[in-house]
Structure 1
Amino acid sequence: MNFLTETWQIHNNINLYLLESINEENLKDLAASKGRPVGEQFAHMHGVRMMWLKVADPALLEGLEKIDKQNITKTHLAENLQQSGKAIEQLFEKTLPGGKIKGFKPLATGFLGYLISHESHHRGQIMLALKQSGHMVPQKIQYGIWEWGVR
């Protein structure tokens, strides 16, 4: 396993850790500024992963499906995030750390940074929506998403 894959796995596990801490009924929570509900934020992350896989290595899309916004559940989100996470791992395993990801500039390390930045932005939106809806995640989770060495 290369360091890109290892870093990606830690990041994806943090997304799953946050998702696990959220009550099913709170997947519909919205931030005061509206935008996507909590569950749709997670679905969006999965969708962006699929978009990049379609460009970079379409064969890795096999078995992946778009998440229907009308049928969002924690189980379905977790399964899909795990599957698309594995597909991204495979993409990184096929790519040398100094190599390139088809359709993305500059290098694979930049692509990893892009994915982590994008999904971390949405994690922040998720946490804000939950807080503003009166369903703030426990402090253990708030700090736990920063424990990269534990995942």
Structure 2
Amino acid sequence: MSALTETWQIHNRINIYLLDAIEEAHLTDTLSSKGRNVGEQFAHINNVRLMWLKAADASLLEGLPKIEKGNISKENLTDAMNRSAAAIEQLFDRSVDGKIKGFKPHATAFLGYLISHESHHRGQIMLALKQSGHPVSQKVQYGIWEWGVR
């Protein structure tokens, strides 16, 4: 397993760890009436992965579900995010000369981009939960930083 692949797997595991810690009813928590709610934030993460897969290697999209607003549940989000994460992992494994089609400069920067984007939304998720009176536990707040633990 490459360092890129392992780092991606750790990152996705943390996303799922956070999702697991959220009660189903709190997926509708939001920062504002105009912004995405918690469930929509997770759906957006998944759907942006699909957008990149389409651009970089559309063959990896087969069977991957786009999450629509009316189809948001913890079960659907967990399944979709794990499946899209596996496809991104395959994209890294297939990268030719460390390049990702449609992204400059290289696969390592693409990994950094994905992690930055998704972590931004993780922060929005945690803030929306906190401001809605449903903060994740302190264990989860610290647990998202446990990158070395399996």
Band of TM-score, shorter chain: over 0.9
Tell me, in whole angstroms, the C-alpha distance in 2 between the residues paired with 1:130 and 1:73.
16
Task: Please give the alpha-carbon distance, in whole angstroms, between the structure 2 residues aligned to 1:111 and 1:29.
Answer: 30
Q: Letter of the 2:52 partner, please give it.
A: W
Question: Which residue matches 1:119?
Answer: 118
**Which residue is equivalent to 2:31?**
31
Equivalent position of 1:146 in the other structure: 145
Instruction: Give 2:70's aligned residue.
Output: 70
Aligned-partner SS, 1:30: coil
Determine the C-alpha separation between the residues in 1 that align with 2:73 and 2:148.
29
- Given residue 107 of structure 2, which amino acid in structure 1 is its aligned partner? A
2:136 is matched with 137
**Structure 1: gaps (5+ residues):** none
Root-mean-square deviation (CA), in Å? 1.1
Mapped partners of 2:89, 2:29: distance in 1: 30
Cα distance in 2, alignment partners of residues 71 and 18 from structure 1:
19
* Gaps in structure 2 of 5+ consecutive residues: none
Counterpart in the other structure of 1:51: 51
Instruction: For residues 27-74 of structure 1, give each alpha carbon's deviation from its aligned partner in whole angstroms, at most 9, with x where no partner exists.
Output: 000014741000000000000000000000000001102112112100
- Give the TM-score taking structure 2 as reference length: 0.97
2:91 alignment counterpart: 91
Runs of 4+ in structure 1 deviating by more than 4 angstroms, as ranges, are none
% identity of equivalent residues: 70
Q: How many residues align?
A: 150
TM-score, length-scaled by structure 1 = 0.96
Q: Name which structure has the greater RCO, CA cutoff 8 Å, separation 6+.
A: 1
Mapped partners of 1:101, 1:18: distance in 2: 28
